[in-house]
Every structure is written in C-alpha cells, then in structure tokens.
Amino acid sequence: MTDTPATADLVILGGGSGGYACAFRAAELGLSVILVEKDKVGGTCLHRGCIPTKALLHAAEVADLAREGDQFGVKSSLEGIDINGVNSYKDKIVAGLYKGLQGLVKANKVTFVEGAGTFVAPNAVEVDGKRYTGKNVVLATGSYARTLPGLEIGGRIITSDQALNLDYIPEKVVVLGGGVIGVEFASVWRSFGAEVTVVEALPRLVPAEDEWASKQLERAFRKRKIGFKTGVRFTGAIQSETGVSVSLESGETLEADLLLVAVGRGPNSAGHGYEEAGVAMERGFVVTDERLRTNLPGVYAVGDLVPGLQLAHRGFQQGIFVAEEIAGQNPKVIDEAGIPRVTYCNPEVASVGLTEAQAKEKFGGAETLVYALSGNGKSQILKTSGGVKLVREPNGPVVGITMVGERVGELIGEAQLIYNWEAFPEDVAPLVHAHPTQNEALGEAFLALAGKPLHVHG
C-alpha cells in the first residue's frame, strides 16, 4: 500500500492488548498512530490465551453440570464431549471479538501495518523494507510460551498454543507447571474426562498466590481426582508412537498421551532489533522506569515485554497510560500490586494486593481473617466451597484480598477497588451487599474484620 503514511506521532510495534489499547487511546487524544502487527490485532490474549482458554473452561463447567445434575434434582447425564463442537464455539467467540477489534482500528483511524517489524532507531520501525517514523515509539511485542532447556516442543510435547487447537481429548495428560496456565488446562481436561497429573517444582500449586489459596485449591483438586506432585523437578521426556514418558528427579516415571509444558511465558524480544538499537534489556525483558520509559528518549514499552505480571489487563492499562503520558496528561503511575489476578480453574482463585507473607515482610506483621463460603447462601446454592482471606496492615488499611471458589473471579472488581482505595475494614463494613450473592462474602469478611461478625462460625 503506497498511500500508507510513513510518519506519525506514535509508532507502536505489536497489536496485542497493550499495543492496541495504546493506539486507540492515543487516537482519541488526537495523535496520529501507526500500529504494526505481524499477525492479528488482539495478540496472544484474544487468539491464543485468555479468551479461548476461558471458552474451554466454560465448556468444562457445562460438562460438570451435566454430569452432576442429580445433586440439584435435575436428571441429566454427560453423553460425551464433541471436541469439534467445543472448538467451533471457542473459535466463534474469538472471531466475533476479532471482527470488533478490526472495526475499532478503522473507527479510530489508526494506520494498521501488517508485517514483522524491526526496531531500527529510537524513532523508527521497519516493515518489509519500509521505514515508519514516529515522534514516539512503543514496544509491545508481548510474550511466547516458554519451555525448559533440552525440552523440545513437538509431537506429544505441547504448549498452550497447541493445546488450544487439539482435535481430540487425551486420556492421560501430564501438565508440567502448576501455575495459572497449568492448573487451568488441568481443570479443563479433568472436566472432559481425562486423567491428569500436574508436576510443579515449587512446594505448592499456584505458588505466586497466598499459601492459604494453594491449600484450598489443592484440597479441591484432590476432591476432583486431579493428581499433582509438588516440590519435584522434571528431568526429561521421551516420546514414542503411542505416548510420552515423563521422568522426575524423584526417580518416578509418568506415562501419558501428552505432556503440556506450562512453565510460564518469556518476553518476545528476540529478533526485533531491540538490543542492536541500544534498548536496555534484562533476561530478555525490556527495562523501563515506573512511567514505562525505556533508556532511549521517546521510546516506551508495555505489557508482557516489561518485567512484572504477565496479564492482558495489565498491558491494556499500560497502553492507555503511555498514550496519556505521550499526550501530556501526566497519568497516575500504575500500582502493580493493585492489578487483579484471576486463575480460572475450578475452583477459581482471585487476588489483589499482597499475600500474608508479603505483608509481614513489608510491615513487620499482618492481621488476617478468613471467611468461609460455607456461611454464604449463594455459594451454598452453587455448591461451592472456599473462602475470602483479608490481609490488613497492623492497625491500617486492608492490603491484600484473596478468594477461592467458583465464580470468585467476578468478585475481584470490588476487591481491587477496596485495595486501591486503601480502605479500612470500617470503611467497607457499612456498605450494603445484595442478598443472596457471593458478593456478600466480601461484605461479611469486612464486617468480621471490623469487629462485628454475623454469619461466622467458630
């Protein structure tokens, strides 16, 4: 396209959550924007991450409800999983959202350049031999599914990228990694009828969460007959025509149809010219200050490329922040601890702020309270167990909220407002929570922490 402008106020390399949010907000603020993306706008989150995995998790929830209808007095049974139907449902959601994003690119008058971009100078990105120059440049090339040294992806050894497009349901799976991605896929496959074992080198599942949450999740996984081995390292995997043998440091060997490698995501920084152009890097990540500025003038970085939580909504908010920063609006710095985190397995784990251990380290102590969902009417209707854990700075505001249970991800909105508002228990306790909702569990927890517990036993 010869009529594509080659200069703009802002050139963005990468069209994922951070890149497109930055593009749209900058365009709203009157800046001209060139958005470079080698694949599809929406990035990992829309096409290979958050959205398709949550579609699978919802299908898994439907499967569980069909299988367990008797406990609600509903005569239902699970005849089986039509994996092609599940994939069709998933792909339709992704396609609809993708179409909407493409429309927003046009509506915002963002110049979209399709192709692999290389950062060639502090103010320029090159695509297929053509140079695009911006007064400012934003690096937003995201992340990729990591593996371990010597563990080659292929055949029966897969990452989440391949797992999302399987056209069959494995009978036996080993999941390497008990973090967010690992436990989500373990949950899906178990609901679909597979035998699953999670292997995690650290002492507990979801090790980044509060230890209480790990214990709750492990108890639920035992009940669901999801196997897990924690505190044990992987040493190797051998594929055959019929399966894969997974060796552990303990000397144990696990046999499975598939090995899912879910050991986290690495920064997608190689091959984009960052180091060559002089961008400060650390372990492959682009280093920025709290205002997301790199060491080069006029060059910013957002999303999974920047050290910290690898979450789509973090990248999205950072994209908005950078657009406003460039437009001279002096936006408020994003508090990383104030970003909500949700693991969408069954049961869900949702948290914001500090864990109990982090609070004790930061403040020299912490006051905690756990409210069990057994005291919550709606949770009993849903037949879910779990709870809400509050962590308070001694005589100060609540600095951490962690929840475990079905659908608790939907409660994190109020929780993140409470944390970011630096609320005291006495600030939240008088607020009225609708009955019967799971939201009440938050209200009850704050009533108890404020010294006036009502539906609390023991």
User: What's the pLDDT band for 29 if we cut at 50, 70, 90?
Assistant: very high
Q: CA-to-CA distance for 437 and 444, rounded, in angstroms?
A: 11
Beta-bridge partners for 349: 343, 404
Q: Which residues contact 362 (CB under 8 A, 6 or more apart)?
A: 354, 399
Tokens at 361, concatenated: 């380290």
Contact 300/287 with Cβ under 8 angstroms? no
Residue type, 456: V
Tokens at 166, concatenated: 């399987």
138: burial class by Cβ within 10 Å (0-12, 13-18, 19+)? buried
User: What's the pLDDT band for 457 if we cut at 50, 70, 90?
Assistant: low
Q: Is the pLDDT of residue 364 over 60?
A: yes
Chain centroid to Cα 64, Å, comes to 23
Q: CA-to-CA distance for 150 and 127, rounded, in angstroms?
A: 33
Q: Which of 58, 272, 435, 457 is catalytic?
A: 435
Residue 435 annotated to the active site: yes
Q: What is residue 455's predicted lDDT score, i.e. its pLDDT? A: 75
What is residue 331's DSSP assignment?
Answer: P
Q: What is residue 454's predicted lDDT score, i.e. its pLDDT? A: 82
Distances (CA, A) of 154 to 26, 158, 162, 298, 336: 40, 6, 9, 40, 35
pLDDT in tens, 110-158: 999 999 999 998 899 999 999 999 999 999 999 999 999 989 999 999 9
HSE-CB for 226 with a 13 A CA cutoff: 27
Contact 140/302 with Cβ under 8 angstroms? yes
* Strand order through the sheet with 244-248: 234-239, 244-248, 253-256
Buried/exposed code over 408-435 (b: 16+ C-beta within 10 A; e: otherwise): bbebbebbbebbeeebbbeebbeeebee
Residue 63, helix vs strand vs coil: helix
Q: Is the pLDDT of residue 184 over 50?
A: yes
Q: CA-to-CA distance for 144 and 43, rounded, in angstroms?
A: 11
370: burial class by Cβ within 10 Å (0-12, 13-18, 19+)? middle
Angle at 446 between CA 440 and CA 449, to 5 degrees: 145
pLDDT in tens, 219-228: 999 999 999 9
Residues 303, 307, 309, 312: what is their CA dihedral angle, to the nearest 10 degrees?
10
What is residue 336's DSSP assignment?
Answer: G
Q: Is the pLDDT of residue 1 over 90?
A: no
pLDDT in tens, 343-352: 999 999 999 9
Q: What is residue 3's predicted lDDT score, i.e. its pLDDT? A: 66
User: Model's pTM, two decimal places?
Assistant: 0.95
Q: Which residues contact 273 (CB under 8 A, 6 or more apart)?
A: 118, 119, 120
Three-state SS annotation for 360-428: HHHHCCCEEEEEEHHHCHHHHHHCCCCEEEEEECCCCCEEEEEEEECCHHHHHHHHHHHHHCCCCHHHH
Q: What is residue 2's predicted lDDT score, i.e. its pLDDT? A: 46
Q: CA-to-CA distance for 378 and 421, rounded, in angstroms?
A: 27
Rounded mean pLDDT, 174-199: 98
Q: Which residues contact 320 (CB under 8 A, 6 or more apart)?
A: 21, 22, 25, 331
Residue type, 352: V
Contact 160/190 with Cβ under 8 angstroms? no
Residues 143, 145, 151, 155: what is their CA dihedral angle, to the nearest 10 degrees?
-140
Q: CA-to-CA distance for 94 and 16, rounded, in angstroms?
A: 14
Q: Which helix (H) or strand (E) holds 446?
A: helix 439-449
Contact 212/402 with Cβ under 8 angstroms? yes
In terms of Cα–Cα distance, which of 102, 97, 93, 122 is closest to 24? 102
Query: Across all residues in the chain, what is the average pLDDT?
Result: 95
Q: Is the pLDDT of residue 458 over 60?
A: no
Residue type, 453: P
Q: Which residues contact 361 (CB under 8 A, 6 or more apart)?
A: none
Rounded mean pLDDT, 410-419: 97
Contact 51/40 with Cβ under 8 angstroms? no
